[in-house]
A and B are shown apart, each in its own frame.
With several copies, the nearest count.
Chain A
Amino acid sequence: MVDLKVEIAPGLVLKNPVMTASGTFGYGREYAPYFDISRLGAIITKGLSRQPKIGNSGVRITETACGMLNAIGLENIGVERFLSDELPILQKMNATVIVNVFGNNQDDYANLAAKLDGVAGIAALEINISCPNVKAGGIQFGIDPQAAAKLVAAVRKKTSLPLITKLSPNVSDIVVIAKAVEEAGSDCISLINTLIGMAIDLERKCPILGNVTGGLSGPAIKPVALRMVYQVAQAVSIPIIGIGGIANARDALEFLLAGATAIEVGTANFINPQTSIEIVEGIEQYLDAQGYSKVTDFIASLELN
């Protein structure tokens, strides 16, 4: 049996490299009827803000070719209610929990980091500096390396939790941003968040989404995600979590080859709630069949022709 353990931050060893992407796994317990969520490497919660947010109005999702656009607008129950109502349930389920947070400004992030620091049952913090769907959803931090570094440094000061910074793909040079957040003290980088896209209703001659634009996710974006993971893996020495269009074990394995230490499953959770656990099993079977004794031997083993 292949050893699937991976270390995604100093001291943070996951039982396997499969996590669930923020915003696609609710607060975790919604998946409990479908499988034992403690079997995942980790679950990453819907992005939390200091205060609850009601999100965008109008149509929030629409399907595109091999992808979907969402403009949820970071609707969430807020950090307080998460800690009181949701986290205890996840602890009871023995799930490894990574909390995703976002804010309107540096203060918000620092405050959230401080609030979550030392809370039992939280394995790590993923800061979303890349949500395209709200004006103040952190996107300004995601495209400017200086701003990103400053934010990461501020959060770093407030937390002893392993810190994952989630990057936006909507940039000219992902490597520059990745290096900046590594430098600033991020323990790990996750990428990619959604590409910014738009869909139009020809009949009604208006944008389909209430928010006009939205985040593109799903298999359509996998090639972009894979490229960015590969580029960043060449440039940084902290672990990388690959995200973007992963729908099955083969996709996940491709991201590992490209240099990701772990992966997050997003949109595919909507199609089949068991996708993430099937990916755990698929990776295990594949590596076993290939004779690997540990997944870490497989990671970043891509060969150039």
Chain B
Amino acid sequence: MYLFNSEIVNKEKLTQNIFRLRIKAANDFCRVATPGKFVMLGSDDSLFDPLLRRPFGICRWGTDWFEVIIKIVGKGSSQLSKLEKGASVAVHGPLGNGYPINKPENEQNTLILVAGGMGIASIASYLFAAFDRKQPLIGTFLLYGAANYSELILLNELTDADAFGLQLQTITDDGSCGRQGLVTQLLSHELQNNPQSQVFACGPEPMLKSVQKVLQKNECDGFLSLENRMACGFGVCLGCVQSMINEDDETSVKTAKVCTQGPVFPAQQVIF
């Protein structure tokens, strides 16, 4: 991982409270980025409010830049939202372990990507990486749920991807786009059609919990990307730990650091 002060080379408003930053990065950074990894971003080291850097998924990257998509939810994100093109930003990353990107063992297996709300930023990193490698996405489903139409971001960019074979389904809490309901309903349905699927999911904890249940019910493997609160992002504060099943000793529980051992974990290991 790298530690550097960098520059915002582009800023784009996606919705009222979601924006995308493109940040300059050296080659080495981009070479070790993989889908699902994240960065810790900070804005000004000389002021202490906000104090800690904040974790955001690396959503896409090129030879000398990477992008993050940020939703304004509190003081850290809102302070980042004030940075304009040309402003400097402190970067630490790429951090963590992303999605397994080796091809599914069985070529015929489908891959189901499940995104809830801002979980799309993490899930999209998988898709953008595929686009950028010109990897076909035949047999890949994107099930994307959000509160309402206006919270569904990146739709255009992901629809372009139809050409690559991606099958996109949206669902909203209020039915303003796609079906009305929860994204896990889509997942249940797809898993019935494609019982041998690989599943990657990212979203709020209640959603991941219910994804885990659906996977269990369908006896299906999958990976969940967690977004626990983080102070350090590199394994030293022990703030982000998640209870995990102890494979060595099934009678006991262990903890895993989401920042260094995750954020992506095999779904069956996570104890919510």
Q: A residues bordering B, Cβ < 8 Å?
A: 23-26, 30-31, 33-34, 46, 54-55, 57, 59-63, 65-68, 70, 72, 75, 218-220, 247, 267, 269-274
Among B53, B238, B255, the one with the most A-chain Cβ atoms within 10 Å of its Cβ is: B238
Q: What are 20 sample pairs from A and B whose C-beta atoms fall under 8 A apart?
A: A24-B237, A25-B236, A54-B254, A60-B229, A60-B240, A66-B51, A68-B231, A70-B237, A72-B238, A75-B238, A75-B255, A218-B51, A219-B49, A267-B231, A270-B231, A270-B232, A270-B236, A271-B42, A272-B3, A272-B45
What does DSSP make chain B's interface, helix, strand, loop or mixed? loop
Q: Within the complex, which residue of B230, B235, B255 is in contact with A55, where a contact is CB–CB below 8 Å?
A: B255
**Residues of B close to A55: CB separation below 8 A:** 238, 241, 255
Among the listed B49, B230, B236, B243, which residue makes an inter-chain contact with A24, where contact means beta carbons less than 8 Å apart?
B236
B229 contacts A57, C-beta separation under 8 Å: no
Q: Which residue of B lies closest to A25 (CB)?
A: B236
Bound complex: CA A105 to CA B186 (Å): 55
Cβ B52 vs Cβ A270 within 8 A: yes
Complex Cα–Cα for A57 and B239 (A): 10
Contact status A26-B45, CB under 8 Å = no
Q: Which residues of B contact A54 (CB under 8 A)?
A: 253-255
B243: which A residues are within 8 A, CB to CB? 57
- CB pair A247–B1 under 8 Å, yes or no, is no
* Cα of A23 to Cα of B235 in the assembled complex, Å: 11
Across the A-B interface, give the 10 residue pairs with the lowest CB-CB distance, nearest first: A61-B239, A26-B236, A270-B232, A66-B48, A219-B48, A270-B231, A65-B48, A61-B231, A60-B239, A72-B238
Chain B: residues with Cβ within 8 Å of the partner, total of 29
User: With an 8 A cutoff between CB atoms, is B22 at the interface?
Assistant: no
Given contacts A30-B234, A61-B237, 4 further A-B contacts (CB under 8 A): A54-B255, A59-B229, A63-B52, A267-B231
User: Do A63 and B50 form a contact, CB below 8 Å, given A34-B3, A270-B231, A271-B45?
Assistant: yes
> With A and B bound together, what is the CA distance between A57 and B230 in angstroms?
15
Measured in the bound complex, the distance between the Cα atoms of B243 and A269 in whole Å is 25
Please measure, in the bound complex, the distance between the C-alpha atom of A156 and the C-alpha atom of B3, giving whole angstroms. 42
- Are B92 and A67 touching (Cβ within 8 A)? no
Closest residue of chain B to A73 (Cβ to Cβ) is B238
Q: How far is the CA of A70 from the CA of B230 in the complex (A)?
A: 11
B137 on the A face (CB < 8 A): no
For residue A219, which residue of chain B has the nearest CB? Answer: B48
- B42 to chain A: closest residue by CB: A271
Indicate if the CB atoms of A70 and B90 lie closer than 8 Å.
no
Report A278 CB to chain B, min CB distance, Å: 10
Q: Which of A46, A59, A267, A270 has the most CB of B within 10 A?
A: A270
- Taking CB atoms, residues of chain A closer than 8 Å to B92 are 272-273
- Collect the chain A residues with CB atoms within 8 Å of residue B234's CB: 30, 273
| Chain A nearest Cβ from B72, distance in angstroms | 16
Judging by beta carbons under 8 Å apart, are B49 and A65 in contact? yes
**Would you give the shortest CB distance from B246 to chain A, in whole angstroms?**
10
A144 to B230, CA, bound (A): 34
Q: Which of A30, A31, A267, A269 touches B51 (beta carbons < 8 Å)?
A: A267
B3→A274 contact, CB < 8 A? yes
Which residue of A57, A62, A273 is within 8 Å of B3 (Cβ)?
A: A273
A-chain residues with CB within 8 Å of residue B51 when the two chains form the complex: 63, 66-68, 218-219, 267, 271
Note all chain A residues with C-beta closer than 8 A to B50.
63
**For the complex, what is the distance from the CA of A294 to the CA of B254, rounded to whole Å?**
45
Please, how many angstroms separate the alpha-carbon atoms of A61 and B228 in the complex? 10
| CB closest chain-A residue, reference B243 | A57
Least Cβ distance of A207 to chain B in Å? 14
CB proximity of A47 to chain B, nearest CB, Å:
11
| Residues of chain A lying within 8 A (CB to CB) of residue B90 | 272
Question: Which interface residue of B48, B53, B230, B232 has the most chain A CB atoms within 10 A?
Answer: B48
Chain B residues near A272 (CB, 8 Å)?
3, 45, 90, 92
Give, as a whole number of angstroms, the nearest-CB distance from B4 to chain A.
Answer: 11
